Amino acid sequence: MNSIGICSLWWNHQELLPEFVRMMRVGGWDKLILVDNASTSDAAFAYRNAVAELGPKASCRRMDRNSVLHGWNAGMAALGTDIVIQMANDLVMTDEHWLEWAVEGMERGIMQGPQCWFRGALYVDGSMCVAMREDWELLGGLDAEHYAHPGYWSDTDLSFRAQWRGMTVRPTRSGIRHLVNYSGGNGPEYNTPNGENFQKFVARWRSSVLSQLPVPFRSGSGAQ
C-alpha cells in the first residue's frame, strides 16, 4: 500500500487551524508537514500546538522568509512518501472520505485533485494537488524561479508541464470546499505579480498548449 504524505503551507490565519485539525483527524495519512511560512510568533506557537495534537507523524517546518513557492517545494520534498499531497490551509471538510477520494486510483503518470477546472484547459488548482512522489520530483515541483511571489499561475503551469510530459491530469470526487483566496493574497498590492505571472505563463505556453485550446485562455481563468 502506498504511503501518503500531506504538506500544508501557512502564513498566519491561525483561526483556520481547528478545521485543519478536524480534517487531519480523519486519518489515513502517514506523514504531515505544516510549513510555517515565516508567520508571526503567535501563529507559530498555535501551529506547534496543532501539530502536537496530531501526534508524532505530524511536524512543523518553519521558513526564514515568506516565499510561497519555495515553502511549498521545501515541504513537499521533505515528505518522502509514495503519494504526496499539496494542500491549501483554507479548506473546509464536507465529507470524511475526502482523503480516500483524493488518492483514489493514484499511480505513476497521474496528477489529480478535487478542484479541477476546465476553461479550455484541464488543470489541478492549488487547493489540493495529488501526485506520486517520483512524478512531483520529475516535474521539479512548482517553478519558484519563473513565477513571482505569491505564485499566481504556478499551479496551472505545473498541470500543463505534467500533461506536456505525457501525464494524465484529472479531477477526483470532492470532500472539501475551498475558501478561495481567504488566506492567499487578494488585495490590490497583488495585482502586479498576478499580471506579471500571467504574462510569463502565456509566454511559456502560447506556442504549445494555449495554441491548441478550443477557446481563448484569458487572465482570471487560472488558479491563484
Is 139 part of a structural domain of the chain? yes
Is 109 part of a structural domain of the chain? yes
* Per-residue pLDDT, 221: 39
Is 29 part of a structural domain of the chain? yes
Give the Cα separation of 152 and 185 in Å (integer). 9
- Identify the residue with better confidence: 224 or 42: 42
Domain count of the chain?
A: 1
* Residue from 3, 149, 9 nearest 74 by CA: 9
Is 217 part of a structural domain of the chain? no
Give pLDDT tens digits for 132-168.
999 999 999 999 988 877 788 899 899 989 988 999 9
Rounded to 5 degrees, φ, ψ at 153 are 75, -5
Is 51 part of a structural domain of the chain? yes
Question: What's the CATH number where 150 sits?
Answer: 3.90.550.10
**Rounded percentage of the chain residues whose pLDDT exceeds 70:** 86
Q: Is 57 exposed, middle or buried (0-12, 13-18, 19+ CB in 10 A)?
A: middle
How do strand 168-171 and strand 110-113 relate by DSSP bridges?
parallel
When pLDDT is averaged across residues 4-22 and rounded to a whole number, the result is: 96
Is 221 part of a structural domain of the chain? no
Omega cis (within 30) before 216: no
Place of cell 505569491: 150
**Domain residue limits at 190:** 4-212
pLDDT of 210 over the 50 cut = yes
Give the Cα separation of 42 and 47 in Å (integer). 9
Give pLDDT tens digits for 82-103.
999 999 999 999 999 999 999 9
Q: Which of 85-89, 120-124, 178-182, 204-208 has the highest mean pLDDT?
A: 85-89
Is 201 part of a structural domain of the chain? yes
Contacts of residue 121, Cβ cutoff 8 Å, sequence gap at least 6: 156, 160, 209, 210, 213, 217
